[in-house]
Structure 1
């Protein structure tokens, strides 16, 4: 039995010697390419995310939804909020582009590790900003409904619903509040799936680079 084990061990060692062994530089280059690809996808997704609402605005149903804000007298507030959001989003896109360009094959493992950490931190801040912005927009809509007296003129009461305008307003407020919470959680889940998957891959690359440094 021992002889058989020894033979198997020697046979495995021979096979292992015949396998190609990657050098430090080859592993580093492979990890660099993976990291560069991940950051490129983060950049692409953030640009698509910025462009998507403008494409949706071309749909008649979406335009009608935007008219609600106008009827509630929230135009000025939303224009100011939109300007802030665009400035911050463009800043983050620029940061993603900078991170992508910074990752160079000439970098050593320590520099690449540092850039991976910076990228992960930037993505987390971006996701938090997007979710907070969405929540604030929903809160503004709810406040607008609450402060509007003639709410039935903006949201017509269905004929089948025998309710007073006051009760309809309360139902609308509760519905919009619940919808706001749900949409924030749904978007949080989408961000977690999209960016979370990419961040986990970056984290894996970081760990592998850290092992190379040991």
Structure 2
């Protein structure tokens, strides 16, 4: 039995010697390529996220829904919030493009680690900003409903069904509905961001740890 084990050990050692060994440079290049690919996907997802929602405006019923904002007097405030959102969204997309161009250049481990940290910080700031703007939009709508003089007129398609409901009860119901929807939407988008960006950031973090092991 001992002779058989010795033979197996020798055979395994021989196989180990025949297996190709990766150098420091090879491992570094592999991590660099993976990181560059991850940042490219972050850029692609951010562009799709910015452009795809605008297709909703092509739906006829969407135009009708936008009239409600005029009726409760918040359309100008929402327009201002949208402009701010567009400006920052374009800024972040540009930052993701810059991070991609930076990380596409083969550097030493320390420089690559710095670029990974910078990319992760940019993504986190983008997610925080996006979720914050959803909350700001909901708050503007809540204020609009709270300050509206005649809510029944603000929703003409529901006017007949709202005749027997007091203004205060209608105001409370609408604010509760909008607030509840806002919380659910924020949580949903937080989950989407976690799935899309969180998983990519996790992979970047893994690359960062591998680089630290190489360097130290």
| Interval of TM-score (by shorter of Structure 1 and Structure 2) | over 0.9
Deviation at 1:25, TM superposition (A): 1.5
User: Are residues 1:24 and 2:41 paired?
Assistant: no
Q: What is the match of residue 209 of structure 1?
A: 211
Matched residue pairs, number? 214
Out of 151-160 and 18-27, give the one that drifted further: 151-160
Out of 154-163 and 46-55, give the one that drifted further: 154-163
User: Are residues 1:9 and 2:9 paired?
Assistant: yes
Q: What is the match of residue 99 of structure 1?
A: 99
User: Are residues 1:187 and 2:189 paired?
Assistant: yes
Q: Mark the runs of 5 or more structure 2 residues left unpaired by the alignment.
A: none
TM-score (norm 1): 0.93
Deviation track 1:23-53 (CA, whole Å, cap 9, x = no partner) reads 2221111111111111011111111111122
Deviation track 1:161-183 (CA, whole Å, cap 9, x = no partner) reads 95334322211111111111111
Asked if structure 1 preserves the Cα contact closer than 8 Å seen for 2:131 and 2:186, the reply is: yes
Q: What is the match of residue 114 of structure 1?
A: 114
Deviation at 1:104, TM superposition (A): 3.5
Distance 1:109 1:158 in 2: 68
Out of 11-20 and 186-195, give the one that drifted further: 11-20
Asked if structure 2 preserves the Cα contact closer than 8 Å seen for 1:29 and 1:105, the reply is: no
Runs of at least 4 residues of structure 1 off by over 6 A? none
Deviation at 1:159, TM superposition (A): 3.2
Deviation track 1:119-170 (CA, whole Å, cap 9, x = no partner) reads 0000000000000000110111111111112111122256399533432221
Distance 2:83 2:77 in 1: 10
Distance 1:65 1:6 in 2: 79
Deviation at 1:78, TM superposition (A): 1.5
Out of 164-173 and 121-130, give the one that drifted further: 164-173
What is the CA RMSD across the aligned residues, in angstroms?
1.7
Question: Structure 1 residues 8, 162: closer, same or farther in 2, change over 3 A?
Answer: farther
Deviation at 1:13, TM superposition (A): 1.4
Asked if structure 2 preserves the Cα contact closer than 8 Å seen for 1:46 and 1:93, the reply is: yes
Distance 1:59 1:157 in 2: 24
Tell me the secondary structure at the aligned position of residue 159 of structure 1. Answer: helix
Deviation track 1:161-208 (CA, whole Å, cap 9, x = no partner) reads 953343222111111111111110110011011000000010011111
